[in-house]
Every structure is written in structure tokens, then in C-alpha cells.
Amino acid sequence: MYTMIGTASPADHPAVAALLDASGLPRRDVTDALLAHFLVAKGGDELLGVIGLEPLGDVGLLRSLVVAASHRGRGLGIELTRALERHARDQGVAQLFLLTTTAERFFGKLGYETIPREDAPPPIQGTTEYRELCSSTSICMVKTLD
Ligand SMILES: CC(C)(COP(=O)(O)OP(=O)(O)OC[C@H]1O[C@@H](n2cnc3c(N)ncnc32)[C@H](O)[C@@H]1OP(=O)(O)O)[C@@H](O)C(=O)NCCC(=O)NCCS
């Protein structure tokens, strides 16, 4: 079955929440409005992956990347990340930041560089994910989009 990547809709909210919960990723601040900047990968009606953007002017927070456990290791994480980068560019985002405790090597392969958390710009430091949802030990990474 083909995997389609597209924009999330409010109808996807329960399945997105379940996927984030299954990986222990934060979702308390994921509203339907924010979901408009989430991309979902589907095989038929099944949600196989998700990734989100918080656009904050010319910077953005990449967040909520999960691929269903049954579909990992097939390149879907990379595809979702590349699609999110295109979406971010379309939104006028020049630099994408992210916080991770689990996927530093994954994002490193895709050109993201680790920086001290404190070097994240104020809009990123103001996000719920930065302030509350991720532990102070999480790694901050950044990529300048072409
Ligand atoms: C991280 C995650 C999204 C990767 O998705 P995926 O579809 O399995 O990744 P891909 O198949 O596109 O992997 C691409 C490459 O990254 C590697 N990779 C995958 N997950 C990795 C991880 N956590 N750390 C390091 N490398 C990883 C793969 O081995 C592969 O490398 P290769 O091309 O040299 O073989 C997936 O493992 C996941 O959902 N993990 C749980 C949630 C999570 O940790 N999300 C990140 C939150 S910031």
C-alpha cells in the first residue's frame, strides 16, 4: 500500500495523540490550530507517522516526529522530516530548531547541528516544549534551510 504524506486535519487528532502517547512525546499543547502545521503519513486509513512545526516568524520548532513502531527503518522518518522542511520554508521559516532526547544521531544525519539550549532564540525558548515539556537534559539542534 502507498504511503501518502499530507497535512493533518482535526479528524486526525485522536490518532496523532495516540501515536505521540505511544512514544512518550508531549501533546498537551497540540491544539487543532497547531495541527494545521502537522504532517501525517498514512497507509490507507492507518496513521503511520507524524511530524509537526511551530512556525514563529523566521524560525520554527520541529516537533512531534514519530513513526509507528511497525513501520520504522524504512525511510519514513527521513521523508517526514524533509516534507516538514519544505512546509517550513513555505511558511517563511529560515532556521528550524528542535529538542530531542532520543534522536540526536537521526537528525545529525539530516544536517542538524547540536547547540547549547541557551543559544536557542527567544521565540523558541518561549515555546511550551522548550519551557515545560522537555527535560532540561534534552539536546537542542538547529538547521538553516536552503
Ligand atoms: C526517530 C524515528 C522517527 C525515525 O523514524 P524511521 O522511519 O525509523 O527512520 P528512517 O527509517 O527514516 O531512518 C533513517 C536513518 O536513521 C536511523 N535512525 C532511525 N532512528 C534513529 C535514532 N533514534 N537514532 C539514530 N539513528 C536513527 C536509521 O537507522 C536510518 O539510518 P540508515 O539510513 O543509515 O540506515 C523513529 O525511530 C521514532 O518514531 N522513534 C520514536 C519517537 C522519537 O524518538 N522521535 C524523535 C523525537 S524528537
Gap between the Cα atoms of 85 and 89, Å rounded: 6
pLDDT band (50, 70, 90) for residue 125: very high
Could you list the residue range(s) of the whole structural domain that residue 50 is in?
Answer: 4-144
Q: Is the pLDDT of residue 99 over 80?
A: yes
CA distances, 98 to each of 10, 29, 52 (Å): 24, 16, 11
pLDDT confidence of residue 86: 98
CA of 126 to the centre of ligand 1 (A): 27
pLDDT confidence of residue 12: 96
**Single pTM value for the model:** 0.94
CA of 140 to the centre of ligand 1 (A): 17
The CA-to-CA distance between both ends of the chain, in Å, stands at 32
Instruction: Give the mutation target among 51, 67, 71 for probing the ligand 1 site: most ligand atoms within 8 A of CB.
Output: 67
Mean pLDDT over the full length of the chain: 94
pLDDT confidence of residue 84: 98
Q: Kindly state the average pLDDT of the residues 89-115.
A: 96
Residue 46 maps to which CATH number? 3.40.630.30
Count the domains in the chain: 1
- Judged on CB neighbours under 10 Å (0-12, 13-18, 19+), 17 is middle
Say if residues 8 and 31 touch (Cβ distance below 8 Å).
no
